[in-house]
Structure 1
Amino acid sequence: MNVTPLTAWIEGIGFLAPGLPDWPTARAVLRGEQPYTAAPSVLPIPAILPPAERRRASRVIKLTLAIGFEAAANAGADVATLATVFTASGADGHNCHALCEQLASDDRQISPTRFHNSVHNAAAGYWGIATKAMAPCQVICAFDASFGAGLLDALGQVVVDGQPTLLIAYDSEYPEPLHSQRETPDCGGVALLLTPERTARSQARITLSPTTAAADELLDSDLEALRTTIPALRSLPLLSRLARGEAGAVCLDYLAPMQLRIDLQPC
Protein backbone atom coordinates (compact mmCIF):
# COMPACT_ATOMS: atom_id res chain seq x y z
CA MET A 1 0.00 0.00 0.00
CA ASN A 2 1.44 3.37 -1.05
CA VAL A 3 0.63 6.08 1.46
CA THR A 4 1.97 9.61 1.36
CA PRO A 5 3.52 10.45 4.75
CA LEU A 6 2.20 13.48 6.62
CA THR A 7 4.80 16.00 7.76
CA ALA A 8 4.59 19.02 10.07
CA TRP A 9 6.63 20.96 12.61
CA ILE A 10 6.02 21.00 16.37
CA GLU A 11 6.16 24.54 17.75
CA GLY A 12 4.55 24.18 21.17
CA ILE A 13 3.84 21.48 23.76
CA GLY A 14 1.44 21.43 26.68
CA PHE A 15 1.19 18.59 29.16
CA LEU A 16 -0.57 17.61 32.37
CA ALA A 17 -0.83 14.20 34.05
CA PRO A 18 -0.72 12.63 37.51
CA GLY A 19 2.48 13.86 39.16
CA LEU A 20 3.38 15.91 36.07
CA PRO A 21 1.67 19.34 36.29
CA ASP A 22 3.21 20.85 33.13
CA TRP A 23 5.57 20.22 30.22
CA PRO A 24 8.79 21.44 31.92
CA THR A 25 8.24 18.97 34.76
CA ALA A 26 7.37 16.14 32.38
CA ARG A 27 10.39 16.96 30.21
CA ALA A 28 12.75 16.78 33.20
CA VAL A 29 11.30 13.39 34.23
CA LEU A 30 11.45 12.01 30.69
CA ARG A 31 15.07 13.13 30.43
CA GLY A 32 15.91 11.33 33.66
CA GLU A 33 16.86 14.59 35.37
CA GLN A 34 14.42 13.96 38.22
CA PRO A 35 12.45 10.92 39.39
CA TYR A 36 8.77 10.49 38.71
CA THR A 37 6.63 10.95 41.83
CA ALA A 38 3.04 9.79 41.61
CA ALA A 39 0.46 12.35 42.72
CA PRO A 40 -3.09 13.35 41.75
CA SER A 41 -3.41 15.62 38.72
CA VAL A 42 -3.44 19.30 39.68
CA LEU A 43 -5.86 21.30 37.53
CA PRO A 44 -5.37 25.10 37.35
CA ILE A 45 -8.39 27.37 37.73
CA PRO A 46 -9.29 28.65 34.21
CA ALA A 47 -9.08 32.36 35.01
CA ILE A 48 -9.58 33.25 31.34
CA LEU A 49 -13.21 32.09 31.43
CA PRO A 50 -15.99 34.50 32.44
CA PRO A 51 -17.05 33.97 36.09
CA ALA A 52 -20.23 32.04 35.26
CA GLU A 53 -18.45 29.59 32.94
CA ARG A 54 -15.53 29.33 35.39
CA ARG A 55 -17.87 28.10 38.12
CA ARG A 56 -19.34 25.48 35.78
CA ALA A 57 -16.01 24.29 34.41
CA SER A 58 -15.48 20.58 34.92
CA ARG A 59 -12.19 18.73 35.33
CA VAL A 60 -12.06 18.10 31.58
CA ILE A 61 -12.51 21.81 30.82
CA LYS A 62 -9.77 22.81 33.26
CA LEU A 63 -7.46 20.18 31.79
CA THR A 64 -7.93 21.12 28.13
CA LEU A 65 -7.60 24.84 28.75
CA ALA A 66 -4.43 24.31 30.78
CA ILE A 67 -2.60 22.19 28.19
CA GLY A 68 -3.91 24.12 25.19
CA PHE A 69 -2.79 27.47 26.56
CA GLU A 70 0.57 26.03 27.66
CA ALA A 71 1.28 24.78 24.13
CA ALA A 72 0.24 28.09 22.57
CA ALA A 73 2.28 30.13 25.05
CA ASN A 74 5.28 27.84 24.45
CA ALA A 75 5.05 28.75 20.76
CA GLY A 76 4.14 32.40 21.20
CA ALA A 77 0.94 31.77 19.22
CA ASP A 78 -2.32 33.72 19.19
CA VAL A 79 -4.93 31.20 20.40
CA ALA A 80 -7.74 33.09 18.67
CA THR A 81 -6.27 32.25 15.25
CA LEU A 82 -5.54 28.54 15.70
CA ALA A 83 -7.48 25.70 14.14
CA THR A 84 -8.04 23.01 16.78
CA VAL A 85 -8.54 19.27 17.04
CA PHE A 86 -9.94 17.93 20.31
CA THR A 87 -9.68 14.19 20.86
CA ALA A 88 -10.63 12.01 23.83
CA SER A 89 -11.52 8.38 24.46
CA GLY A 90 -14.65 9.39 26.35
CA ALA A 91 -16.28 12.47 27.79
CA ASP A 92 -16.39 13.95 31.30
CA GLY A 93 -16.31 10.96 33.65
CA HIS A 94 -17.52 12.76 36.77
CA ASN A 95 -20.34 14.50 34.94
CA CYS A 96 -21.38 11.19 33.34
CA HIS A 97 -21.44 9.60 36.80
CA ALA A 98 -23.60 12.43 38.20
CA LEU A 99 -26.06 12.15 35.29
CA CYS A 100 -26.36 8.37 35.78
CA GLU A 101 -27.02 8.86 39.50
CA GLN A 102 -29.69 11.46 38.73
CA LEU A 103 -31.42 9.28 36.14
CA ALA A 104 -31.41 6.33 38.56
CA SER A 105 -33.18 8.39 41.24
CA ASP A 106 -36.84 9.34 41.63
CA ASP A 107 -36.07 12.87 40.45
CA ARG A 108 -34.89 12.63 36.84
CA GLN A 109 -34.76 16.37 36.17
CA ILE A 110 -31.30 17.02 34.75
CA SER A 111 -29.78 20.45 35.34
CA PRO A 112 -28.96 22.44 32.18
CA THR A 113 -25.34 22.77 33.33
CA ARG A 114 -24.98 19.01 33.71
CA PHE A 115 -26.54 18.49 30.31
CA HIS A 116 -24.41 20.91 28.33
CA ASN A 117 -21.25 19.62 30.02
CA SER A 118 -22.16 16.04 29.06
CA VAL A 119 -21.65 16.34 25.31
CA HIS A 120 -18.36 15.20 23.78
CA ASN A 121 -17.60 18.63 22.31
CA ALA A 122 -18.03 20.51 25.62
CA ALA A 123 -14.28 21.13 25.93
CA ALA A 124 -14.16 22.60 22.42
CA GLY A 125 -17.09 24.85 23.29
CA TYR A 126 -15.42 26.23 26.40
CA TRP A 127 -12.22 26.74 24.40
CA GLY A 128 -14.17 28.85 21.92
CA ILE A 129 -15.68 30.92 24.74
CA ALA A 130 -12.27 31.45 26.35
CA THR A 131 -10.32 32.28 23.18
CA LYS A 132 -13.07 33.77 20.98
CA ALA A 133 -11.55 31.65 18.22
CA MET A 134 -13.45 31.41 14.93
CA ALA A 135 -10.99 29.02 13.24
CA PRO A 136 -12.05 25.46 12.27
CA CYS A 137 -12.48 22.96 15.11
CA GLN A 138 -12.76 19.17 14.98
CA VAL A 139 -13.83 16.88 17.85
CA ILE A 140 -12.86 13.22 17.65
CA CYS A 141 -13.32 10.02 19.67
CA ALA A 142 -11.64 6.69 18.84
CA PHE A 143 -11.54 5.01 22.27
CA ASP A 144 -7.95 3.95 23.09
CA ALA A 145 -6.76 5.11 19.65
CA SER A 146 -7.97 8.67 20.20
CA PHE A 147 -4.52 10.28 20.37
CA GLY A 148 -3.51 8.65 17.08
CA ALA A 149 -6.79 9.62 15.43
CA GLY A 150 -6.43 13.20 16.58
CA LEU A 151 -2.83 13.37 15.40
CA LEU A 152 -3.83 12.05 11.97
CA ASP A 153 -6.61 14.61 11.67
CA ALA A 154 -4.44 17.51 12.84
CA LEU A 155 -1.60 16.60 10.49
CA GLY A 156 -4.09 16.29 7.65
CA GLN A 157 -5.33 19.82 8.29
CA VAL A 158 -1.80 21.17 8.45
CA VAL A 159 -0.83 19.49 5.17
CA VAL A 160 -4.03 20.16 3.22
CA ASP A 161 -5.01 23.59 4.55
CA GLY A 162 -1.51 24.87 5.29
CA GLN A 163 -2.51 26.37 8.61
CA PRO A 164 -1.20 25.97 12.18
CA THR A 165 -3.35 23.49 14.09
CA LEU A 166 -3.49 22.84 17.83
CA LEU A 167 -4.07 19.20 18.81
CA ILE A 168 -5.53 18.75 22.31
CA ALA A 169 -5.74 15.12 23.46
CA TYR A 170 -7.20 14.47 26.89
CA ASP A 171 -8.93 11.91 29.12
CA SER A 172 -10.82 11.86 32.40
CA GLU A 173 -11.37 9.23 35.06
CA TYR A 174 -14.77 7.75 35.96
CA PRO A 175 -15.89 7.24 39.58
CA GLU A 176 -17.17 3.83 40.67
CA PRO A 177 -19.01 1.78 39.55
CA LEU A 178 -17.96 2.82 36.01
CA HIS A 179 -14.33 2.97 37.10
CA SER A 180 -14.18 -0.81 37.48
CA GLN A 181 -15.10 -1.10 33.79
CA ARG A 182 -12.86 1.74 32.61
CA GLU A 183 -9.85 1.95 34.91
CA THR A 184 -8.45 5.31 33.91
CA PRO A 185 -6.77 6.42 37.16
CA ASP A 186 -6.90 10.20 36.75
CA CYS A 187 -7.18 12.89 34.10
CA GLY A 188 -4.30 13.74 31.80
CA GLY A 189 -3.52 15.10 28.37
CA VAL A 190 -1.14 16.59 25.87
CA ALA A 191 -1.36 19.49 23.41
CA LEU A 192 0.82 19.90 20.32
CA LEU A 193 0.89 22.99 18.14
CA LEU A 194 1.66 21.80 14.60
CA THR A 195 2.69 24.11 11.75
CA PRO A 196 3.17 23.56 7.99
CA GLU A 197 6.59 25.24 7.84
CA ARG A 198 9.66 25.52 10.01
CA THR A 199 10.02 28.74 12.00
CA ALA A 200 12.43 30.11 14.58
CA ARG A 201 10.27 28.49 17.29
CA SER A 202 10.07 25.02 15.74
CA GLN A 203 11.21 22.27 18.08
CA ALA A 204 11.10 19.26 15.76
CA ARG A 205 9.82 17.93 12.45
CA ILE A 206 7.54 14.92 12.57
CA THR A 207 6.55 12.65 9.71
CA LEU A 208 3.74 10.14 10.18
CA SER A 209 3.24 6.93 8.20
CA PRO A 210 1.35 3.67 8.83
CA THR A 211 3.06 0.55 10.18
CA THR A 212 2.18 -2.78 11.78
CA ALA A 213 5.06 -2.73 14.28
CA ALA A 214 4.38 -2.98 18.01
CA ALA A 215 4.00 0.28 19.91
CA ASP A 216 7.04 1.54 21.81
CA GLU A 217 6.95 1.08 25.57
CA LEU A 218 8.61 3.08 28.34
CA LEU A 219 11.30 1.57 30.57
CA ASP A 220 10.00 3.32 33.69
CA SER A 221 7.14 1.16 35.00
CA ASP A 222 5.23 4.10 36.49
CA LEU A 223 5.34 6.09 33.24
CA GLU A 224 4.46 2.97 31.25
CA ALA A 225 1.40 2.56 33.50
CA LEU A 226 0.33 6.10 32.60
CA ARG A 227 0.81 5.33 28.90
CA THR A 228 -1.43 2.27 29.04
CA THR A 229 -4.16 3.53 31.38
CA ILE A 230 -4.71 7.12 30.12
CA PRO A 231 -5.30 6.89 26.35
CA ALA A 232 -4.10 10.43 25.60
CA LEU A 233 -0.74 9.42 27.06
CA ARG A 234 -0.16 6.87 24.31
CA SER A 235 1.80 9.93 23.15
CA LEU A 236 4.51 9.42 25.81
CA PRO A 237 7.06 7.58 23.61
CA LEU A 238 6.96 10.51 21.19
CA LEU A 239 7.19 13.03 24.03
CA SER A 240 10.11 11.13 25.52
CA ARG A 241 12.13 11.56 22.32
CA LEU A 242 11.11 15.20 22.11
CA ALA A 243 12.20 15.78 25.70
CA ARG A 244 15.62 14.23 25.05
CA GLY A 245 16.05 15.92 21.68
CA GLU A 246 16.65 12.58 19.97
CA ALA A 247 16.12 11.94 16.28
CA GLY A 248 14.65 8.62 15.21
CA ALA A 249 11.39 6.71 14.85
CA VAL A 250 8.77 5.80 17.42
CA CYS A 251 5.70 3.63 17.02
CA LEU A 252 2.42 4.62 18.68
CA ASP A 253 -0.73 2.61 19.31
CA TYR A 254 -3.59 3.10 16.85
CA LEU A 255 -6.36 0.79 15.54
CA ALA A 256 -4.82 -2.68 15.33
CA PRO A 257 -3.36 -4.00 13.15
CA MET A 258 -2.50 -0.49 11.95
CA GLN A 259 -0.08 1.46 14.09
CA LEU A 260 1.54 4.86 13.60
CA ARG A 261 5.22 5.38 12.89
CA ILE A 262 6.51 8.84 13.75
CA ASP A 263 9.88 9.88 12.37
CA LEU A 264 11.25 12.69 14.52
CA GLN A 265 13.96 15.18 13.60
CA PRO A 266 14.69 17.78 16.33
CA CYS A 267 15.56 21.29 15.22
Structure 2
Amino acid sequence: MQAKELRCKVASVGAWGSYFDTWDALQALLHSTDLPEDKNKGPKPSVIPANERRRAPLSVRLAVESSWQATQSANVAPEDLTCVFVSGLGDTDLTDYMCKTLASEHKELSPTKFHNSVHNAPAGYWTISTNTMTAANSVAGYEESVSLTLLEAMVQCESEGTPMLVTFYDAPVSDVLRPLLHNAEAFAFSVVIYPSTADVEGIELSAKIEKANGASWPALTSENSYITSLYQSNPSAKILCLAELLKQESGTTDESAKALSMPLSKGTSISFSRL
Protein backbone atom coordinates (compact mmCIF):
# COMPACT_ATOMS: atom_id res chain seq x y z
CA MET A 1 0.00 0.00 0.00
CA GLN A 2 1.34 3.43 -0.93
CA ALA A 3 2.17 5.74 1.95
CA LYS A 4 -0.17 8.68 2.46
CA GLU A 5 1.31 12.08 1.68
CA LEU A 6 1.00 14.68 4.42
CA ARG A 7 0.90 18.40 3.68
CA CYS A 8 1.11 21.60 5.67
CA LYS A 9 1.99 25.28 5.34
CA VAL A 10 4.81 26.78 7.39
CA ALA A 11 3.51 30.23 8.30
CA SER A 12 6.36 31.47 10.51
CA VAL A 13 9.58 30.59 12.30
CA GLY A 14 11.21 31.53 15.61
CA ALA A 15 14.81 30.73 16.58
CA TRP A 16 17.35 31.27 19.34
CA GLY A 17 20.95 30.12 19.88
CA SER A 18 24.30 31.24 21.20
CA TYR A 19 25.01 33.39 18.14
CA PHE A 20 21.52 34.22 16.87
CA ASP A 21 18.34 35.44 18.52
CA THR A 22 15.85 35.48 15.63
CA TRP A 23 15.06 33.52 12.47
CA ASP A 24 16.58 36.32 10.36
CA ALA A 25 19.82 36.14 12.33
CA LEU A 26 19.95 32.36 11.95
CA GLN A 27 19.42 32.64 8.19
CA ALA A 28 22.32 35.08 8.01
CA LEU A 29 24.57 32.54 9.78
CA LEU A 30 23.51 29.78 7.40
CA HIS A 31 24.82 31.95 4.55
CA SER A 32 28.04 33.06 6.29
CA THR A 33 31.18 31.61 7.86
CA ASP A 34 31.51 34.53 10.31
CA LEU A 35 30.16 34.73 13.85
CA PRO A 36 29.21 37.70 16.06
CA GLU A 37 31.96 38.65 18.52
CA ASP A 38 29.87 37.94 21.62
CA LYS A 39 27.74 34.96 22.57
CA ASN A 40 24.18 35.48 23.76
CA LYS A 41 23.84 34.99 27.51
CA GLY A 42 20.39 33.42 27.45
CA PRO A 43 16.89 34.31 26.33
CA LYS A 44 14.54 36.28 28.56
CA PRO A 45 11.07 35.61 27.14
CA SER A 46 8.84 38.52 28.10
CA VAL A 47 5.70 36.39 27.98
CA ILE A 48 6.75 34.58 31.19
CA PRO A 49 6.02 36.75 34.28
CA ALA A 50 9.22 38.13 35.83
CA ASN A 51 9.04 36.11 39.07
CA GLU A 52 8.55 32.87 37.16
CA ARG A 53 11.17 33.77 34.55
CA ARG A 54 13.84 34.12 37.25
CA ARG A 55 13.18 30.54 38.37
CA ALA A 56 12.79 29.06 34.88
CA PRO A 57 15.70 26.89 33.69
CA LEU A 58 17.42 27.53 30.37
CA SER A 59 15.53 24.75 28.58
CA VAL A 60 12.20 26.42 29.43
CA ARG A 61 13.37 29.88 28.40
CA LEU A 62 14.72 28.55 25.10
CA ALA A 63 11.45 26.85 24.18
CA VAL A 64 9.22 29.73 25.23
CA GLU A 65 11.33 32.39 23.50
CA SER A 66 11.32 30.72 20.08
CA SER A 67 7.64 29.81 20.47
CA TRP A 68 6.74 33.42 21.21
CA GLN A 69 8.73 34.65 18.20
CA ALA A 70 6.95 32.21 15.88
CA THR A 71 3.45 33.07 17.08
CA GLN A 72 4.12 36.81 16.91
CA SER A 73 5.56 36.48 13.40
CA ALA A 74 2.48 34.52 12.31
CA ASN A 75 0.23 37.12 13.94
CA VAL A 76 -1.71 34.37 15.65
CA ALA A 77 -2.93 34.11 19.24
CA PRO A 78 -1.03 31.32 21.06
CA GLU A 79 -4.26 30.00 22.58
CA ASP A 80 -5.52 29.18 19.08
CA LEU A 81 -2.69 26.69 18.47
CA THR A 82 -2.27 23.05 19.44
CA CYS A 83 1.34 22.49 20.56
CA VAL A 84 4.07 19.89 20.23
CA PHE A 85 7.32 20.47 22.13
CA VAL A 86 10.40 18.26 21.78
CA SER A 87 13.81 17.91 23.40
CA GLY A 88 16.19 15.10 22.57
CA LEU A 89 18.05 15.29 25.89
CA GLY A 90 15.73 17.00 28.38
CA ASP A 91 17.19 19.12 31.17
CA THR A 92 20.33 17.18 32.10
CA ASP A 93 21.46 19.80 34.65
CA LEU A 94 18.32 19.19 36.70
CA THR A 95 18.58 15.43 36.23
CA ASP A 96 22.18 15.56 37.47
CA TYR A 97 21.14 17.68 40.45
CA MET A 98 18.37 15.27 41.47
CA CYS A 99 20.57 12.19 41.12
CA LYS A 100 23.32 13.78 43.23
CA THR A 101 20.86 14.93 45.88
CA LEU A 102 19.10 11.58 46.15
CA ALA A 103 22.46 9.80 46.40
CA SER A 104 23.61 12.08 49.23
CA GLU A 105 22.92 11.93 52.96
CA HIS A 106 20.45 14.83 52.75
CA LYS A 107 17.83 13.89 50.18
CA GLU A 108 15.57 16.94 50.29
CA LEU A 109 14.94 18.09 46.73
CA SER A 110 14.14 21.69 45.88
CA PRO A 111 10.40 21.74 44.99
CA THR A 112 11.06 24.32 42.27
CA LYS A 113 13.83 22.28 40.68
CA PHE A 114 11.76 19.12 40.96
CA HIS A 115 8.78 20.54 39.09
CA ASN A 116 11.08 22.11 36.49
CA SER A 117 12.73 18.72 35.87
CA VAL A 118 9.74 17.03 34.22
CA HIS A 119 9.96 16.71 30.44
CA ASN A 120 6.82 18.75 29.78
CA ALA A 121 7.91 21.72 31.91
CA PRO A 122 8.51 23.99 28.87
CA ALA A 123 5.08 23.14 27.48
CA GLY A 124 3.61 23.87 30.91
CA TYR A 125 5.30 27.27 31.18
CA TRP A 126 4.13 28.11 27.65
CA THR A 127 0.51 27.13 28.09
CA ILE A 128 0.20 28.81 31.52
CA SER A 129 1.94 32.02 30.40
CA THR A 130 -0.22 32.32 27.26
CA ASN A 131 -3.46 30.97 28.76
CA THR A 132 -3.47 28.19 26.16
CA MET A 133 -6.03 25.47 26.87
CA THR A 134 -5.48 23.35 23.76
CA ALA A 135 -3.51 20.08 23.76
CA ALA A 136 0.24 20.36 24.33
CA ASN A 137 2.29 17.20 23.72
CA SER A 138 5.92 16.73 24.77
CA VAL A 139 8.13 14.36 22.78
CA ALA A 140 11.59 12.85 23.28
CA GLY A 141 13.40 10.71 20.75
CA TYR A 142 17.12 11.46 21.18
CA GLU A 143 18.69 11.78 17.69
CA GLU A 144 15.39 11.11 15.89
CA SER A 145 13.50 13.69 17.96
CA VAL A 146 13.12 16.12 15.06
CA SER A 147 11.76 13.66 12.51
CA LEU A 148 9.39 12.01 15.01
CA THR A 149 8.02 15.38 16.07
CA LEU A 150 7.50 16.64 12.54
CA LEU A 151 5.54 13.49 11.79
CA GLU A 152 3.48 13.89 14.97
CA ALA A 153 2.71 17.54 14.19
CA MET A 154 1.86 17.06 10.51
CA VAL A 155 -0.47 14.14 11.27
CA GLN A 156 -2.30 16.22 13.88
CA CYS A 157 -2.39 19.28 11.63
CA GLU A 158 -3.92 17.41 8.69
CA SER A 159 -6.18 14.92 10.47
CA GLU A 160 -7.64 17.48 12.88
CA GLY A 161 -7.49 20.46 10.52
CA THR A 162 -5.88 22.59 13.20
CA PRO A 163 -2.91 24.99 13.21
CA MET A 164 0.04 23.85 15.28
CA LEU A 165 2.97 25.31 17.17
CA VAL A 166 5.99 22.98 16.93
CA THR A 167 9.02 23.75 19.10
CA PHE A 168 12.43 22.05 19.18
CA TYR A 169 14.89 22.84 21.99
CA ASP A 170 17.95 21.45 23.73
CA ALA A 171 20.21 23.09 26.32
CA PRO A 172 23.90 22.23 26.87
CA VAL A 173 24.32 18.97 28.74
CA SER A 174 25.63 18.81 32.30
CA ASP A 175 29.38 18.48 32.77
CA VAL A 176 29.14 14.88 33.96
CA LEU A 177 27.37 13.85 30.73
CA ARG A 178 29.43 15.98 28.33
CA PRO A 179 31.86 13.14 27.40
CA LEU A 180 28.87 10.97 26.40
CA LEU A 181 26.38 13.42 24.86
CA HIS A 182 28.81 16.15 23.70
CA ASN A 183 26.30 18.96 23.23
CA ALA A 184 27.66 22.24 24.59
CA GLU A 185 25.33 24.70 22.84
CA ALA A 186 21.83 26.05 23.43
CA PHE A 187 19.36 25.86 20.56
CA ALA A 188 15.66 26.44 19.98
CA PHE A 189 13.56 26.54 16.83
CA SER A 190 9.80 26.91 16.42
CA VAL A 191 7.41 26.79 13.49
CA VAL A 192 3.72 27.59 13.20
CA ILE A 193 2.09 25.28 10.66
CA TYR A 194 -1.39 25.27 9.13
CA PRO A 195 -3.30 22.69 7.08
CA SER A 196 -2.34 23.03 3.42
CA THR A 197 -5.88 24.15 2.58
CA ALA A 198 -5.84 27.05 5.05
CA ASP A 199 -6.19 30.56 3.62
CA VAL A 200 -2.88 31.83 5.02
CA GLU A 201 0.46 32.77 3.55
CA GLY A 202 3.15 30.14 4.03
CA ILE A 203 5.64 27.72 2.55
CA GLU A 204 3.88 24.50 1.58
CA LEU A 205 5.58 21.23 2.50
CA SER A 206 4.72 17.64 1.75
CA ALA A 207 5.99 14.64 3.70
CA LYS A 208 5.91 10.90 3.10
CA ILE A 209 7.11 7.86 5.07
CA GLU A 210 9.42 5.55 3.13
CA LYS A 211 11.26 2.28 3.76
CA ALA A 212 14.95 3.03 4.24
CA ASN A 213 17.41 0.77 6.03
CA GLY A 214 20.28 2.68 7.59
CA ALA A 215 18.98 6.14 6.64
CA SER A 216 21.21 9.02 7.77
CA TRP A 217 20.76 12.74 8.31
CA PRO A 218 21.45 14.86 5.22
CA ALA A 219 24.53 17.06 5.05
CA LEU A 220 24.00 20.80 5.42
CA THR A 221 24.95 23.16 2.64
CA SER A 222 26.11 25.72 5.22
CA GLU A 223 29.89 26.02 5.63
CA ASN A 224 29.65 27.78 8.98
CA SER A 225 31.62 25.64 11.46
CA TYR A 226 29.41 26.67 14.38
CA ILE A 227 26.27 25.67 12.49
CA THR A 228 27.69 22.32 11.37
CA SER A 229 28.93 21.52 14.88
CA LEU A 230 25.52 22.44 16.32
CA TYR A 231 23.84 20.19 13.75
CA GLN A 232 26.02 17.24 14.73
CA SER A 233 25.86 17.51 18.52
CA ASN A 234 22.50 19.06 19.46
CA PRO A 235 19.58 16.67 18.77
CA SER A 236 17.05 19.48 18.25
CA ALA A 237 19.41 21.28 15.88
CA LYS A 238 18.80 18.46 13.39
CA ILE A 239 15.93 20.73 12.31
CA LEU A 240 18.59 22.90 10.62
CA CYS A 241 18.34 20.76 7.48
CA LEU A 242 14.68 21.77 7.25
CA ALA A 243 15.66 25.37 8.05
CA GLU A 244 17.87 25.34 4.95
CA LEU A 245 14.94 24.02 2.92
CA LEU A 246 12.70 26.81 4.24
CA LYS A 247 15.18 29.57 3.45
CA GLN A 248 15.47 28.60 -0.22
CA GLU A 249 14.30 31.33 -2.58
CA SER A 250 10.83 30.60 -3.98
CA GLY A 251 12.17 30.69 -7.55
CA THR A 252 14.81 28.00 -6.99
CA THR A 253 14.87 25.58 -9.93
CA ASP A 254 17.28 23.05 -8.38
CA GLU A 255 14.90 20.24 -7.40
CA SER A 256 17.50 18.60 -5.13
CA ALA A 257 17.56 21.79 -3.02
CA LYS A 258 13.79 21.56 -2.55
CA ALA A 259 13.73 18.10 -0.93
CA LEU A 260 15.35 16.19 1.94
CA SER A 261 15.02 12.93 3.83
CA MET A 262 15.41 12.30 7.58
CA PRO A 263 15.80 8.98 9.43
CA LEU A 264 12.67 8.09 11.36
CA SER A 265 13.43 4.61 12.68
CA LYS A 266 15.76 1.72 11.95
CA GLY A 267 13.88 0.82 8.78
CA THR A 268 12.07 4.00 7.78
CA SER A 269 12.69 7.60 6.82
CA ILE A 270 10.50 10.64 6.26
CA SER A 271 11.01 12.69 3.12
CA PHE A 272 10.04 16.34 2.75
CA SER A 273 9.49 18.38 -0.39
CA ARG A 274 8.93 22.09 -0.74
CA LEU A 275 6.02 22.61 -3.10
Instruction: Give the alignment's TM-score, normalised by structure 2.
Output: 0.89
Structure 2 unaligned regions, length at least 5: none
Aligned to 1:115: 114
* Post-superposition offset of 1:33: 5.6
* Post-superposition offset of 1:34: 6.7
Query: SS at the partner of 1:260?
Result: strand
2:134 aligned partner, one-letter code: A
Aligned to 2:29: 29
1:158 aligned partner, one-letter code: C
Is residue 21–residue 42 contact of structure 1 (8 Å, CA) maintained in 2?
no
Aligned to 1:70: 69
Is residue 29–residue 227 contact of structure 2 (8 Å, CA) maintained in 1?
no
* Post-superposition offset of 1:236: 1.0
Aligned to 2:263: 253
* Post-superposition offset of 1:257: 3.3
Distance 1:195 1:38 in 2: 37
Aligned to 1:13: 13
Is residue 89–residue 235 contact of structure 2 (8 Å, CA) maintained in 1?
no
Query: SS at the partner of 1:181?
Result: helix
Q: Does 1:87 align with 2:97?
A: no
Distance 2:101 2:38 in 1: 30
Q: Does 1:141 align with 2:143?
A: no
Distance 1:42 1:243 in 2: 26
> 216, 235, 239: which is aligned to 2:218?
216
Is residue 41–residue 186 contact of structure 1 (8 Å, CA) maintained in 2?
no
Aligned to 1:99: 98
1:183 aligned partner, one-letter code: H
* Post-superposition offset of 1:206: 0.6
Change (3 A) 1:38 1:156: farther
Distance 2:37 2:67 in 1: 23
Is residue 217–residue 262 contact of structure 2 (8 Å, CA) maintained in 1?
yes
Query: SS at the partner of 2:76?
Result: coil
1:167 aligned partner, one-letter code: V
Structure 1 unaligned regions, length at least 5: none
Instruction: Give the alignment's TM-score, normalised by structure 1.
Output: 0.91
Aligned to 2:169: 170
Taking only the aligned residue pairs, the percentage that are identical comes to: 25
Q: Does 1:230 align with 2:234?
A: yes
Distance 1:122 1:89 in 2: 14
Query: SS at the partner of 2:123?
Result: helix
Query: SS at the partner of 2:175?
Result: coil
Count how many residue pairs are aligned between Structure 1 and Structure 2: 263
Q: Which moved more, 1:109-118 or 1:48-57?
A: 48-57
Is residue 232–residue 238 contact of structure 2 (8 Å, CA) maintained in 1?
yes
Q: Does 1:60 align with 2:70?
A: no
* Post-superposition offset of 1:53: 1.6
Query: SS at the partner of 2:205?
Result: strand
Change (3 A) 1:129 1:184: same
Distance 1:92 1:222 in 2: 22
